[in-house]
A = this chain, B = another copy of it.
Amino acid sequence: MAKAARDPEERIRERNMRLIIKAGIEIFARKGFDGTRIAEIAEASGLPKANVYYYFASKEEIYKAIISHLIASWDDALKYISPDREPAEAFRLYIKAKLDYTRKNTAESRLFASEIIQGARFLKKKDRDHMRQVTDAHVAVVEGWIAAGKMLPVDPRHLFIMLWASTQYYADFEPIAADGLKKPRLKAEDYETAAITITETILKGILPASAQRS
């Protein structure tokens, strides 16, 4: 009764909030929560500072909005680990999808990394629980594969950590990754090579057949 549900005028609001969020992702990623100034976000989004405050009550609110949105957007890349797939195929797709997401969302990836390094102060329990559940499901699938003799008996949890680490590194630590590859900047083809190397290494290891089972 009091506040009628409207719709069309959601346009301006939507657009400006998107601009703020977009600028926020970039700057929070680079400076961390404490290091970010809203004046900078305002400038980057082309809005006056007071206008930013018209949409968000505080710096923390912008930050939290970004984090939650980010976690939700991950699930897509993670749908490949499912029991009806062969491990080789599943991991290949998983690694490719994760690297793809990372390459196309470097700022988000870095923002998340920044939040974790700084102690996961604003990562809500709900989000953590969600991540834990997804992991548990994946672990169960891998354990099934191991029981079926389709995989060697690796610790599934450490294995997933390896995959998270290896795929995120290219975005989070791009300057170092680029130096390591002797390139000025990473390009799409570098992500391709990364996908191949990670997949091959994970699946077959680096030792030739003659040296296996030592």
Residues of chain A having any CB pair with chain B under 8 Å: 29-36, 87-88, 91, 110, 113-114, 116-120, 123, 128, 131-132, 135-136, 149-152, 154-155, 157-162, 164-166, 168-170, 172-173, 175-177, 179-182, 193-194, 196-198, 200-209, 211-214
The dominant DSSP class at the A interface is helix
Rounded to whole angstroms, the CA-CA distance of A182 and B139 in the bound complex is 11
For A176, the closest partner residue in chain B by CB is B116
Rounded to whole angstroms, the CA-CA distance of A196 and B157 in the bound complex is 12
- Asked if residues A29 and B117 are in contact (CB atoms below 8 Å), the reply is yes
Number of chain copies forming the complex: 2
Residues of B with C-beta under 8 A to A154: 197, 200-201, 206
- Asked if residues B31 and A87 are in contact (CB atoms below 8 Å), the reply is no
- Partner of A213 from the list B152, B162, B166, B209 (CB cut-off 8 Å) is B209
- Asked if residues B206 and A203 are in contact (CB atoms below 8 Å), the reply is yes
